[in-house]
A = this chain, B = another copy of it.
Amino acid sequence: MRHAKRVFRSRSAKEGLPPGTLVHIGETRTAAPQVSLFEYGEWGVREQTFDTTDSRLPPHRADAVTWVDVEGVHQVETIRSLGECHNLHPLVLEDIVSTVQRPKVEDYDDYLFVVVRMLLPLEQGDFAAEQVSMVLGKGYLFTFQEGIRGDAFEAVRERIRTAKGKIRGMGADYLAYTLLDAIIDRYFTVLEGFGERLTTIEEDVALHPQPRVLVQLNELKKEAIYLRKAVWPLREVLSFLERDDTDLISDTTRIYLRDVHDHTVQAIDTVETYRDLLAGMLDLYLSSLSNRTNEIMKFLTVIGTIFMPLTFIVGLYGMNFRHMPELEWPYGYYLVLLIMALLSLAMVVYFRRRRWL
């Protein structure tokens, strides 16, 4: 994850502007924004795609659920015109285009406004995060995505088209649930990728505690912080949806939302477990390092302890005193060699006993 970039996504562009001023903050989708419209009910489904929203949306059918999905929030005009058409509060529009929101849910009486982060798995356990905003009203659902790397909703669209599952017989709240469920499912995919990277690195930590491993650990730690920031507030969002007494959500759907709530708690559990494991791995790294320093020190000490006395002895008989009787002995040299061999042997035995060798 390009984590650093995310955390520091500049908000300062907005300083000093009146509230409700629409300023896009975040990455920019290269393609033009695209609006797709689903209308469905027991009677069937109608699907339409627009490039801009100048073309007015068709009027709402009473017997249908209307799902307007906007991909790309960087053209504030698109958002503004859509928002004005449907009487959305200026602060809602402001939050939609500023893609650095904390996941949250807000009750505007006529509609609920939900912001969550969608995680998109990339290759090698990496992942990206995009903001998804939802406006859930009576019979309609608006979703706003950054739309840079695709979304997690394709399976849901397919289910609407093919009438698989019971989605066509349910209301807009059930659609919102289905989308949230799809988003949370992606969290698990991302978390599994993360877990695999963790397992990969763990072996290195214990056996090859190299600086490179430390950098990777630090990288994983930062990503875990990011995941945590994304998933914790989600719990509050789902508690609110599951428990609150807004009549925008039916009791049937609430049971399903309880299930998503449950998944969120599991995701949090997993993130926290990863954090614990990472903390343990850092301890392991430091301990392994200390162990290695220890080994190296032992090695040096053993070498030094064996050779310093020997070097002393050969130096001793290298002295030039006139009167050194040992030097004259016929077997003096061999005796000294023997003594040194025995000394070395004694030391090796000693170090073996102390388990330094």
Contacts and interface: CB of A to CB of B under 8 A. Distances in A.
A346 interface: no
Copies in the complex: 5
B285 A287 contact: yes
Nearest to A195: B8
> Chain A interface mostly helix, strand, loop or mixed?
helix
A83 interface: no
Given A7-B195, A15-B185, A15-B186, A286 B291 contact: no
Contacts of A94: 259
Contacts of A256: 19, 91
A319 interface: yes
Contacts of A320: 317-320, 324, 327
A299 B199 CA distance: 32
Contacts of A332: 321-323
A169 interface: no
A155 interface: yes
A89 interface: yes
A37 interface: no
A225 interface: yes
Contacts of A262: 101-102, 104
A26 to B, nearest CB: 14
B206 A215 contact: yes
A188 B218 contact: no
Contacts of A186: 15
